[in-house]
Each structure stands twice: as structure tokens, then as C-alpha cells.
Structure 1
Amino acid sequence: MFIPLHDANSLKYIKHQYVTIGLIVANIIVYLFTAFESEQAAQATVLGLGYIPSVSFGLAELPPGYALVPEPLTYVTYAFLHGDIFHLGGNMLFLWVFGDNVEDALGHIKYLIFYLLCAISGAVVHGLIAPDSQMPLIGASGAIAGIVAAYLILHPRVKVWILAFARIPLRIPAYITLGLWIIFQFSMLALGGEDQISWACHAGGIIAGAILVLILRRRGVPILDREIVTPRAVKVEQPSAVAPVETQPASRWGRQ
């Protein structure tokens, strides 16, 4: 639908978005690790670390030697795997533009917990919708969807620079861009959209993000925050004449 570019929404409580940057670095490292694997090894990594509903619900088993982590951990590990550079790039761009302000509102530790819970929620809803699926679920989209929902609740009026249809630059309030994005996710879920995209995972992340941001945000952090106005240069006109300062007789002032 659109590519986010910049939101000009400064941080208020933290100096740097350490967790957001750390998550981006972690996702990139994992991708580079899998990108240079052989095709067979990469497939084994996806099967071992991806979330597979039929395995999670005990309807199927992985081949011997493919289980890289205990099965419950795949509710998290799947979110650090990506199919290609475009899959990775899209998710990391959303994380970079919107994640820092959510981290700012929650604090570093709570934000990390928030991110992981949104990823888990995405996998849970995906599994409930398709419990017999044997296709591995991979990608950070569930966690990213949670961040989008949280940002929309925190800063709906902030204007975001986007590329509409990947080529038209626009500056639009978040409630329009992110609101339409969320509506699109649920619409595609209801209509049974593309099979290669888990709209259920997106929906699960959105629901979790909307709830968790209300619970985990710092005390005093408002929701539905006011619009942030970008400062502009203002020309100040000089008065044509400067009035002289009126002097007062010394007798009017106290002496010490």
C-alpha cells in the first residue's frame, strides 16, 4: 500500500532507541546467516526455527534432526527469519520509522517485551486460523503490525512522509495511512487474500499491540496525542523606531 519514510516525531523520554536498533541488527544478522547457506541448509533452518501450526498442535512432526529449538520457542524464532531482501527490508523500514516512538513511550525493557508478545500473538492467531498447516511461518510482520497499532494509538495526528504506490511522496496524518493499513489487513483476512501472506498473523499482532500499549506505556504518556507541528522559520519585523527608556529621578529609588 505505501512505503513509510519519515515521521519527524522526536523522542521525549529516551535518548536513543537502543532496542529498535538492536532488533534491526539482529534481523539483518540472521538474514545474512541464512542467505549464505546452501539451499538445503536454508530449508532446514526455516523448518527448524519457523512456526509450523501442525507441529505446534501435535498434528505433524518434523523429520529427525530438524528441530533446532524446543517447539514453543518457534513462536518467537520465526519472527527473525525472512524469505528475501525485500521481505526483510519492508519489515525493518516499518520498524525503523515507527518503532522508536513506541520504544520511547514504553521504555526499553517493556518495549522488548511488547515486541516479543506481538510476535507471539501473531503466531497464535495464525495457528488458530490454520491449525493443520504444514507451511512454516516466518517474518517479523506480526511484531511490526503490533508496533503500527501502538503508534496509531499514541500518535494518530502526526504527519508521516510516505511513498504512496511506491512512487508518490505524500505527507499524511498517521490516522489515515496507518488506519487504512490496518483496515486492509483485516479485510484481506476476511476475504482470504494471498496465500503466501499470513493476514491472520498481522491481525494477531495488531490486536496485541493495541492492547499492550495501553498496559505497558509509561505513567503519564497520553494516548491520541496532539499533532506535532514542524518548526518553521518566522520573519520578525523590526519596529521603525525605538522608544527611549524613560529615566526616573534618583529620589524615586531607594538607597542602600
Structure 2
Amino acid sequence: MVIPVHDVDNPVRRTPWVTYALIAVNVVVFLRTPGVVDSLTGDTGLAHLCRLQAFLEHWGAVPRELVSNDPPTQVPTGGTAVGPRGPGCLVGPPGYEKSPPLSVLTAMFLHAGWLHLLGNMLFLWVFGNNIEDRLGRVRFLLFYLVCGYAAGYGFALVNPGSAEPLVGASGAIAGVLGAYLVLYPRVRVWALVPFFFFVPLRLPAWAVLGLWFVLQALYSAGYGVSGAASVAYLAHVAGFVTGALLALPLRPGTPPPPGAPPPRRGRPVGPQW
């Protein structure tokens, strides 16, 4: 895995306000998530976990609910109790009405931890501005949401019995990465490579994003991760493929970035990636 830092060769023509707004909303929602302040003070006890579980169950997208389109009848309430097996989270009828399709939208702005949030926002910061610049603000927002929905429902259709709530902007941002790979494959991206002790390297976007996608595909197939992995890698794959397909019609009319390396001279050998 490589960590992108900046695509210096790909300037934008206008301020990417939608990208900035998406990042701001994600951060604000995370800071208002129950238990976030407690985690900063080291309080990660049962009460903290139960409140977080109830919040994510309420606003997250549960695959089983998406497939059946039925809201839950028993959910975590956020309280704690001591039962025959020891302390645990209280479960009871929901005190709210939940729309499974709408939960996909709310789930895009939830994150379960600091690393989850910061990783997603970094990728959106580096690659979102250019896709917004190419699509325009309104179309970019619609594109982002469509990729998020494709990721959520794509995962649910393959895992219809899963009761774990899906949360995070990863699926929508994966769509942004797929579009970037299609539109700007040869742009150089500054990235940190853990294998080389986090030394910054200037790599083509096709290498950075192509490697990211291959790893997500392998992880989604069960290679390199344990069976108990909590990351919905298949949602990343679905979002990425959706974004790439939506961007394909735009590729012929996308001018090369001013700082991109020039195409090779000589005998044509096919499309230059």
C-alpha cells in the first residue's frame, strides 16, 4: 500500500468547494459521534462502546436491511446491563423510524475511528479536487453519491445476511479514485511507500491507484486478511468500478494536465497509460 500526499502536476481551474464541504461535513459528523470525546481521554469502556454501537446501528447501512428493505425490530439502545453472561449492551425495539435506502446516504458521513476518518479524507483531499474540476460542482456531488450507493448496495447484494452496519465514505471516495485513474492515469503523485521506510516517491497515478485497487480486490476475495476483517473491501471495489465506468465517456474530452509527462514519441503502441 502507498499513501498519496499530493498530485503536484495536476492543478485545478477553480476552487473545489464541494470537496472541501464533503471533508468538513465528515469531520463535523465524526466529532459529534457519541464517544469520540471519550476516546481522546482514553475512556473506551463498555458504556462508550454501547453508545457508539447504537449510533452506528441507527445511521449506518445494514446489508440485511438493504436487501430486504425492512427496518430492524431489535437494535442496541446505547445502554448497558448485566446478564447471565456478564455485562453487555442493552437491546430493544428501536425508538426511531429507519429507511434502509436513506441509511446508505447517512452512512457515507460516518466513521468508526480517527484512522478511518483521516485515511478517507486524505484520499478525498488529494484526488477529489480534480474530479470536481472536470465534472463541475453539481455533477461531482451527484457522482460522489452514486458511487457511494453503488458501493453500499453492491456489498449488500453479495452479503445479504450481514447484520454489521456499513459506515464510512470509502465507497464514494473509491469512485473518485476510479475516475481519476481513467481521466489522469499519467499524472505524477507524491506518495509515501511504507516498504521504503515512508520515503516520498513521485509515482504515476496508474501505479498508485492501480495498486490500491488490486489490493482491495485481493482483500475482498479473502487474500491477505483474516476472516474477521472489519473492512468492507468489496464496497471499495464496487465504488471504484462504478467511478471508472462513469468517467469513461469523459476521457476523450479531458485535456492532459499542464504538468503531466509528454506522451512517448515513435511508433504507436496503443493507449498511453
TM-score (norm 1): 0.81
SS in 2 for 1:133: coil
Structure 1 contact 126–201 (Cα < 8 Å) conserved = yes
Q: Give 1:202's match in structure 2, choosing from 232, 236, 256.
A: 236
Asked if 1:61 corresponds to 2:72, the answer is yes
After superposition, the C-alpha distances for 1:172-209 in whole angstroms (9 at most, x for unaligned) are 01111111111111122223544211111001101110
| Greater strand fraction, Structure 1 or Structure 2 | 2
After superposition, the C-alpha distances for 1:41-77 in whole angstroms (9 at most, x for unaligned) are 3222100111111122337724222546422101111
Give me the whole-angstrom Cα distance separating, in 1, the residues matched to 2:108 and 2:3: 20
Give me the whole-angstrom Cα distance separating, in 1, the residues matched to 2:135 and 2:32: 31
Counterpart residue number, 1:90: 119
Counterpart residue number, 2:12: 11
CA drift of 1:214 comes to: 3.1
Structure 1 contact 55–62 (Cα < 8 Å) conserved = no
SS in 2 for 1:16: coil
Q: 1:17 to 1:131 in 2, by over 3 A?
A: same
Q: Which amino acid aligns with 1:75?
A: V
Superposition map of 1:142-181 within 5 A: 142-165=171-194, 167-181=198-212
More displaced, 95-104 or 177-186? 177-186
More displaced, 64-73 or 117-126? 64-73
Asked if 1:190 corresponds to 2:221, the answer is yes
SS in 1 for 2:118: helix
Q: 1:104 to 1:66 in 2, by over 3 A?
A: farther
Which structure 2 residue ranges, 5 or more long, are not aligned?
Answer: 39-46, 75-92, 262-273
After superposition, the C-alpha distances for 1:102-160 in whole angstroms (9 at most, x for unaligned) are 00010000000010111101101110111000111111110111111101111111100
Q: How many residues align?
A: 225
After superposition, the C-alpha distances for 1:203-225 in whole angstroms (9 at most, x for unaligned) are 1101110112235x599335xx4
SS in 2 for 1:57: helix
Give me the whole-angstrom Cα distance separating, in 2, the residues matched to 1:124 and 1:93: 24
CA RMSD of the aligned region, Å? 2.3
Q: Percent sequence identity over matched residues? A: 40
Superposition map of 1:43-58 within 5 A: 43-58=53-68
Which of the two has higher C-alpha Rg?
1
Give me the whole-angstrom Cα distance separating, in 1, the residues matched to 2:24 and 2:257: 32
Q: 1:148 to 1:62 in 2, by over 3 A?
A: farther
Counterpart residue number, 1:252: none
Give me the whole-angstrom Cα distance separating, in 2, the residues matched to 1:56 and 1:67: 17
Asked if 1:228 corresponds to 2:238, the answer is no
Which structure 1 residue ranges, 5 or more long, are not aligned?
Answer: 231-256
Counterpart residue number, 1:213: 247
Give me the whole-angstrom Cα distance separating, in 1, the residues matched to 2:191 and 2:97: 39
Give me the whole-angstrom Cα distance separating, in 2, the residues matched to 1:97 and 1:161: 10
Give me the whole-angstrom Cα distance separating, in 1, the residues matched to 2:204 and 2:57: 40
Q: Which ranges of 4 or more aligned residues in structure 1 deviate by more than 6 Å?
A: none
Counterpart residue number, 2:88: none
After superposition, the C-alpha distances for 1:85-115 in whole angstroms (9 at most, x for unaligned) are 1100000000000000000010000000010
Q: 1:199 to 1:32 in 2, by over 3 A?
A: same
Structure 1 contact 49–68 (Cα < 8 Å) conserved = no
